[in-house]
Structure 1
Amino acid sequence: MYDVVLLTLSSERDASGGCGSGEACCGGADATGAGVDGTGPTPGDADSCATDRPRVPVLACADALTARGARVQMVTARSDAEIDAVLAQLDGPARPDGLTWPDADGKTRLVVATASDGQLRAVLRRLVRRYAPAPSRRPADLRGDRTLPDLPPVAVLPLDPARGGAQRDLAAQLGLPRDPAAVAAAVLDGTLRRLDLLRNDGGSVTLDGALFGAADDAGRPLHWRARVEVDDTVLTNGDEPLLACAVGNAGGYASLDDVTLLASPDPADGQVEVAVAVPVVVRSAWGRKRVRLEVRRARGRAVSVLPREGKVPYLDDGVEGELTRKRSWWVEPGAWAVWVV
């Protein structure tokens, strides 16, 4: 039978008043307590991060697992180090090259209880940091199109029932079970579904996608400029205004209001889909000017966004940030996996 670790992320603060748990804090922060580009914790997660007591879905999932004979360990991680201690249980045997590698035949399985997509990303980010070898130590048995091995699969236990409806989280997009008993069944009896992962040169990862752009206090979109390039295709070189840019692995940012940005995002096709929304002035047959929104799209293995002026606000897996310099993402095909029924 399996050993199952039920991992929940805590919002506990350190003595200085900052976030002492890295990205474990309320779904999205780096080791300084700031977001991936210097912002604070994700707004809207205060209720879900208000206590370290196990939530009802976590207890229900633990009961369902125990009833099936699994040995269950419930962990509330308050720091990156505590997340890493859980992930160490997924390590494989020692390798001759000294690399830390996941155990492909291990009997320990991981369930991540998530109040937000940012919390799931926090765990995947630690998995990447644990198992991705330095370029100078790349082993011969690593896939040629990847920089890291197959990451250990995870089961996802959503803690917010509402996000399975209109406010669709990644678990809802992927059709993952939300009921604790169904999650337990997936862990013990399910199959693997391998998914693409986006890594970026800032050291983080993206599971769903990123959306760039901002609006004023009245909700009107603000113009900004950036060079956006997908492989060898330049969607915009930065000399024209943009209303939005979507970098999609899955479909969480496929549309903005009534505008379809991403046509067919697929989290398992080995490509990233990128779209920019450009306001274009056109003349009617009667000579009248009007503005229409032109959406340009491209698909590829990598994308870069280079701001041309100021800071560009964005959401990355629901975590707020501001882009002030060039950022590049690339696809790691099939690098992570979830347990499905």
Structure 2
Amino acid sequence: MSDHDQLLVIVDPVARRSDGESVRIAKDVLSAGAETKICLPDSPEEFSRALARRGSRRPVLLGDDRALLRTVALLHRERGLADGVLSLVPIGPSDALEIAHALGVPRSTPAAARAVLDGTVQRLDLLVDDSDGVVLGDLRIPGVPAAALSSGPSVWGTCRSLVRTLVRPAPTALAVRTHRLRVEADGVLLSDVDTPLESLTVRSVAGTAEVTVHPSAAPPRHTTARTLTVSGPDFRYRADGRLTGPVRRRTWTVREGAWGLTLPRAAP
């Protein structure tokens, strides 16, 4: 039996609690097709130790997007992404598996487990920032929608809003919050702090980052780059659904084909 057929199956604790039946199905399919070692960590620390002690076994994760992001981040920090391969059986509610499905992992548990055994390795890009953070999917600045930047609703707030509405007509649209940020793509200035900016979106595609800048009073600007630097007053950003910040400066670099994920074979 080759190293490819020796699997370390790490079951995320959230998956065990939320959908034990899918976990059982995945374990049965994997154990029937390969030599497996099952690991059931109860904490992030145990999860990290199990991954670090994988040896020559191929790690197979049973969990959701959050568990996938944690695993890729751990492998990146130990510099174990370049030569290794990761497999995933997604387990969790659909809104917690958006990244996994966008990457091409099957939605059904049996199909995903069979892809672990019979699929092919695809090398995928990775956005890495200057704090050693990783992004698998989308990056957005600001990380918080304008409506969420204010405090939560209260009884008094609702009453005051009602009174203002009765006194004068309600505005037709909410004011758009703008930001003063300097944006550089491969050293080329896309936007500076004197230009109000509504948002910035980034996604790695085919070895480069697709960058879209949304000025408040001009059409969006699109470009591709290997490196993106954003600086200015404290800002937050949302990467793969996770809110980070505030920071004053951050640089992201595309690592082409930085990690390998087992996906189903393409139909002939």
Distance verdict in 2 for CA 1:154–1:69, change over 3 Å: closer
Which residue of structure 1 aligns with residue 22 of structure 2? Answer: 57
Q: 1:197 to 1:84 in 2, by over 3 A?
A: farther
Structure 2 SS opposite 1:294: coil
The structural deviation recorded for 1:161 is 4.6
* Cα displacement (A) at 1:225: 1.2
Query: Aligned pairs, how many?
Result: 235
Write the distance in 1 (CA, Å) between the matches of 2:182 and 2:42.
Answer: 39
Q: Which amino acid aligns with 2:147?
A: D
Q: Does 1:159 align with 2:86?
A: no
User: Aligned to 2:212, which of 250, 267, 275?
Assistant: 275
- The answer to whether the 8 A contact 2:186-2:228 is kept is yes
Contact 2:11 2:38 (8 Å CA) reproduced? no
CA distance in 1, matches of 2:79, 2:202: 25
2:242 to 299, 314, 319: 319
- 8 A Cα contact 2:89 2:113, kept in partner: no
How far off is 1:131 after superposition?
Answer: 1.9
Which structure features the higher share of strand residues? 2
Task: Give the AA of the match of 2:40.
Answer: V
**1:340 shift after superposition:** 1.1
**Which of these two proteins has the greater Rg computed from alpha carbons?**
2
Amino acid paired to 1:154: L
Which one has a larger percent helix, Structure 1 or Structure 2? Answer: 2
Question: In 1, Cα distance between the equivalents of 2:54 and 2:195?
Answer: 50
Task: Measure, in 1, the Cα distance between the counterparts of 2:17 and 2:254.
Answer: 34
Q: TM-score, normalised by structure 2?
A: 0.78
Q: How do 1:125-274 residues align onto structure 2 when only pairs under 5 Å count?
A: 125-131=73-79, 150-163=82-95, 169-213=98-142, 214-217=145-148, 221-249=176-204, 266=205, 269-274=206-211
Deviation sequence 1:197-250 (CA, Å, 0-9, x none): 11111121111121112312597542111111110221101211111111212x
CA 52–335 in structure 1, closer or farther in 2 if over 3 Å, else same: same
Shift of 1:85: 3.1
- Closer/same/farther in 2, CA of residues 189 and 332 from structure 1, 3 Å limit: same
* Structure 1 residue runs without a partner (length 5+): 11-47, 91-105, 133-148, 250-265, 281-292
Paired with 2:9 and 2:78, the residues of 1 have a C-alpha distance of 19
1:78 to 37, 43, 55: 43
Contact 1:209 1:317 in 2 (8 A): yes
Alignment RMSD (CA, Å): 2.5
Unaligned runs of 5+ residues in structure 2 are: 151-173
Within the alignment, does 1:299 sit opposite 2:231 as a pair? no
| Residue number in structure 1 paired with 2:169 | none
3-state SS in 1 of match to 2:219: strand
Partner of 1:33: none
Distance in 2 between residues matched to 1:222 and 1:53, nearest whole Å: 38
| Structure 1 segment 113-132 matched on structure 2, within 5 A | 113-116=62-65, 118-131=66-79
Shift of 1:191: 0.7
- 1:87 paired to 2:52: yes
The whole-number CA distance in structure 2 between the counterparts of 1:270 and 1:126 is 22
Q: Taking structure 1 as the reference length, what is the TM-score of the superposition?
A: 0.62
Paired with 1:5 and 1:206, the residues of 2 have a C-alpha distance of: 24
